[in-house]
């Protein structure tokens, strides 16, 4: 499998990462060599094997349905560059 610059640019866009032309070229080279390396796994026959979601053998920890009254407004808005009456204010998202 070989990636091209378009695919690199698409991945960058989906990840909201801005790339210069040079960075895009470098990444293309890096990613292709990573993919080549991973490609070796194709030599293993996995036809009758279900995909594994996690390698841990323990089971999913669960919690009880108990709500905590945290009144988080002030704390949660602390890092916000812009806010109004308890809301985060972000550049307009047009629908």
Partner 1 sequence: MNNNLIKGNKFEWETIIGLEIHAQVKSKSKLFSNSSTAFGSKPNSQVSLVDAAMPGMLPVINQYCIEQAVRTGIGLNAQINNYSVFDRKNYFYADLPQGYQISQYKYPIVGKGKVTIDFKDGNSKDIRIVRLHLEQDAGKSLHDQNPTKTYVDLNRSGVALMEIVSEPDIRSAEEAGLYINKIRSILMYLDTCDGNMQEGSLRADVNISVRKPGDEYGTRCEIKNLNSIKFIKQAIHYEAKRQIEILEEGGIIEQNTLLFNTSNGKTRPMRSKEEAHDYRYFPDPDLLPLEISQTEIDKLKSSITELPDDRKKRYVDDYNLSNYDASVLTSDKHVSDYFDEVINSDKSLKESSKIVVNWITSELFSILNEHNIEIKISPITPKYLGKLVKLILENVISGKIAKDVLIDMYNTKKDPETIIDQKGLKQLTNTSEIENIVEEVLKENQKMVEQYLSGKDKLLGFFVGESMKKSKGKANPKILNEILKNKLSKKN
Among 14, 41, 44, 49, indicate the residue that binds partner 1 (CB under 8 A). Answer: 14
Q: What is the DSSP letter of 52?
A: P
Whether 49 contacts 25, CB under 8 Å: no
Q: Examine residue 41 and tell whether it contacts partner 1 (CB under 8 A).
A: no
Looking at the Cβ atoms of 22 and 56, the one nearer to partner 1 is 56
Q: Examine residue 70 and tell whether it contacts partner 1 (CB under 8 A).
A: yes
* Cα(3)–Cα(36) distance, integer angstroms: 11
The Cα-based distances of 78 to 5, 34, 74 in angstroms read: 40, 40, 6
Stretch that binds partner 1, among 1-9, 20-28, 35-43, 81-89 (CB under 8 A): 81-89
Among 22, 43, 60, 81, indicate the residue that binds partner 1 (CB under 8 A). Answer: 60
Number of residues that bind partner 1 (CB under 8 A): 39
Among 16, 18, 21, 48, indicate the residue that binds partner 1 (CB under 8 A). Answer: 16
Length reported for the chain: 95
> Mapping DSSP to helix (H, G, I), strand (E, B) and coil, where does residue 77 land?
helix
């Amino acid at each position: 499998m070989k990636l091209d610059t378009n695919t690199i640019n698409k991945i960058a866009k989906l990840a909201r990462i801005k790339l210069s032309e040079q960075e895009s070229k470098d990444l293309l080279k890096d990613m292709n060599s990573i993919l080549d390396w991973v490609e070796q796994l194709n030599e293993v026959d996995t036809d009758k094997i279900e995909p594994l979601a996690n390698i841990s053998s323990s089971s999913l920890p669960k919690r009880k349905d108990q709500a905590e009254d945290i009144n988080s407004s002030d704390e949660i808005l602390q890092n916000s560059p812009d806010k109004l009456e308890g809301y985060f204010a972000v550049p307009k998202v047009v629908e």
